[in-house]
């Protein structure tokens, strides 16, 4: 049974009234480019930011309408908010009251229902989360360079961009194409610099603010993790959303993580949030592979003088206090930013530079931490003395 065409989906969406009961979703220009491939349909609906919470029924109606079409197996619909210059931030998505429960580890305040898809992912040796307690610390840039460093060490590596509200991987890896669907209905990940990549930014406009409820985020990420033909990977690096809210905790409970890497900057405010990230993973029994101090110092490109813009050594001290591995310092350097903006991470573009070597050293520490975590998880042999 063939999947409907984009035009057929548009015709069906044209039967749905707009937010104010006048016009329809198509004539009002509220529907983004529609992704259609082998039973899967994805698109977004643009709504006023201040009305995002009240228009969830509209999103649901569009989803159900398309899902009822012959040949459609799965539908992913997001609300996106356009805001005029000078307006504030778009309304924040509502969070679920209680995150799902995975095994004995409980979120504060109790559990919920498990997604039922929280077991190991076939073909993936280890899933590593790169997380931060707050935004703005360079987590995504660190994640992509860590993935490239692991690939340079001979590992087969993938990257899952779990930052639904601000997907960065399309830009960081210079990818503009859309993924294809294979015969078994799974999505084929895109590839850049020898790394397999999946991001919501490939399916919806990455420039539009996403307005998804917490359970929708987890559902979308579960699809991107388990319905993607990753192949055989030694490591899948998950670029987690910033923060430590219910969405992040639920992801940590439902994604089979072998360990987590915490990214922080040296100043006290970032370190306070980094501690929250550590505590979140500890609550769900995810081993901490180590802490990275990003933007650790600035080296003047003209005189070579070092400046500790945000202070220095804070993450190392915090790692020692928490008995966690300190993975290294990443400098604040113009080339890291320039290479990231150009879609070629510094580890690939300038592999012999001090900046790239810093990421390579971090990768060594991550692998050592992963080996230790996996060894600790293995059952220890028992000696039985028989009479």
130 and 74, same structural domain? no
180 and 58, same structural domain? no
The continuous run of DSSP H or E covering 326 comes out as strand 326-332
Cα–Cα distance, 137 to 141 (Å, whole number): 9
Question: Residue 166 maps to which CATH number?
Answer: 3.40.50.300
Distances (CA, A) of 83 to 68, 80, 89, 133: 32, 10, 8, 27
207 and 331, same structural domain? yes
Q: What is the DSSP string of 280-292?
A: HHHHTT--EEEEE
What pLDDT was estimated at residue 378?
62
Mean pLDDT across the stretch 322-340? 84
Q: What is the DSSP string of 109-176?
A: T------S--SPPTTEEEEEEEE-SSSSS-HHHHHHHHHHHHHHTT--EEEEE--TTS--HHHHTT--
Residue 382 is assigned to a structural domain of this protein: no
280 and 134, same structural domain? yes
SS3 107: coil
Which of 82, 104, 135 is at the close of a domain?
A: 82
147 and 72, same structural domain? no
Q: What angle do CA 327, 373, 318 make, to 5 degrees?
A: 35
Residue 103 is assigned to a structural domain of this protein: no
Find the range with the poorest average confidence among 101-110, 180-189, 221-230.
101-110
**Residue 16's pLDDT band (boundaries 50, 70, 90)?**
very high
Cα–Cα distance, 249 to 243 (Å, whole number): 9
148 and 43, same structural domain? no
What pLDDT was estimated at residue 11?
93
Question: Residue 53 maps to which CATH number?
Answer: 3.30.300.130
270 and 166, same structural domain? yes
136 and 64, same structural domain? no
β pairing state of 195-199 and 157-161: parallel
Answer yes or no: is pLDDT of 103 > 90. Answer: no
Question: Measuring CA to CA, which residue among 308, 309, 243 is closest to residue 272?
Answer: 243
Residue 117 is assigned to a structural domain of this protein: no
Distances (CA, A) of 147 to 99, 164, 286, 348: 29, 19, 19, 11
62 and 191, same structural domain? no
Residue 90 is assigned to a structural domain of this protein: no
Q: What is the DSSP string of 31-87?
A: B-PPEEETTEEEEEEEEEGGGTGGGHHHHHHHHHHHHTSTT--EEEEEEEEE--TT-
Residue 102 is assigned to a structural domain of this protein: no
* Interval 19-38: pLDDT, tens: 887 889 999 888 877 888 77
Please provide residue 4's backbone torsions phi and psi, each rounded to the nearest 5 degrees: -60, 155
143 and 72, same structural domain? no
Answer yes or no: is pLDDT of 53 > 90. Answer: no
N-term to C-term CA, the chain: 68
| Domain range enclosing 74 | 6-82
* Mean pLDDT computed over every residue of the chain: 78
170 and 35, same structural domain? no
- The answer to whether the beta carbons of residues 52 and 11 sit under 8 Å apart is no
Residue 45 is assigned to a structural domain of this protein: yes
Cα–Cα distance, 383 to 356 (Å, whole number): 47
* Better-predicted residue by pLDDT, 340 or 323: 340
- The answer to whether the beta carbons of residues 172 and 144 sit under 8 Å apart is yes
Residue 111 is assigned to a structural domain of this protein: no
370 and 235, same structural domain? yes
> CB atoms < 10 A from the CB of 70, how many?
9
Q: How many domains does the chain have?
A: 2
Residue 278 is assigned to a structural domain of this protein: yes
Which of 82, 101, 136 is at the close of a domain?
A: 82
- Most confident range, picked from 142-156, 281-295, 323-337: 142-156
Structure tokens at 323: 């008995």
Number of C-alpha atoms within 13 angstroms, CB side, residue 79?
28
Please provide residue 216's backbone torsions phi and psi, each rounded to the nearest 5 degrees: -65, -40
């Amino acid at each position: 049974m063939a999947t409907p065409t984009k035009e057929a989906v548009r015709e069906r969406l044209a039967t749905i009234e707009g937010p104010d009961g006048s016009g329809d979703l198509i004539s009002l220009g509220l529907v983004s480019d529609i992704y259609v491939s082998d039973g899967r349909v994805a698109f977004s609906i643009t709504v006023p930011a201040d009305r995002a919470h009240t228009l969830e029924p509209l999103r649901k109606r569009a989803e159900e309408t398309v899902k009822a079409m012959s040949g459609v197996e799965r539908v992913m619909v997001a609300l996106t908010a356009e805001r005029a210059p000078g307006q504030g931030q778009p309304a924040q998505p509502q969070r679920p009251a209680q995150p799902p429960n995975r095994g004995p580890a409980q979120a504060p305040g109790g559990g919920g229902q498990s997604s039922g898809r929280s077991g190991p992912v076939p073909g993936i040796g280890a899933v590593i989360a790169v997380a931060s307690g707050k935004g703005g610390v360079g987590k995504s840039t660190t994640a992509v360079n860590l993935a490239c460093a692991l690939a340079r060490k001979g590992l087969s590596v993938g990257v899952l961009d779990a930052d639904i509200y601000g997907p960065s991987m399309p830009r960081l890896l210079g990818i503009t194409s859309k993924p294809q669907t294979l015969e078994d209905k799974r999505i084929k990940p895109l590839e850049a610099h020898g790394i397999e990549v999946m991001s919501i930014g490939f399916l919806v406009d990455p420039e539009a603010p996403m307005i998804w409820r917490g359970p929708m985020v987890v559902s979308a990420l579960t699809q991107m993790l388990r319905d993607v033909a990753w192949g055989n990977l030694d490591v899948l690096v998950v670029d987690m959303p910033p923060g430590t809210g219910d969405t992040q905790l639920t992801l940590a409970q439902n994604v089979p993580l072998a360990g987590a890497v915490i990214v922080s900057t040296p100043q006290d405010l970032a370190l306070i949030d980094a501690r929250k990230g550590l505590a979140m993973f500890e609550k769900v029994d995810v081993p901490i592979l180590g802490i990275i101090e990003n933007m650790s110092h600035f080296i003047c490109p003209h005189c070579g003088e070092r400046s500790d813009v945000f202070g220095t050594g804070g993450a190392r001290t915090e790692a020692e206090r928490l008995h966690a591995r300190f993975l290294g310092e990443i400098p604040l350097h113009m080339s890291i930013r320039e290479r990231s903006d150009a879609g070629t991470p510094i580890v690939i573009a300038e592999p012999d530079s001090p900046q790239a070597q810093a990421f390579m050293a971090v990768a060594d520490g991550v692998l050592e931490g992963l080996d230790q975590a996996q060894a600790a998880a293995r059952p220890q042999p028992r000696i039985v003395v028989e009479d």
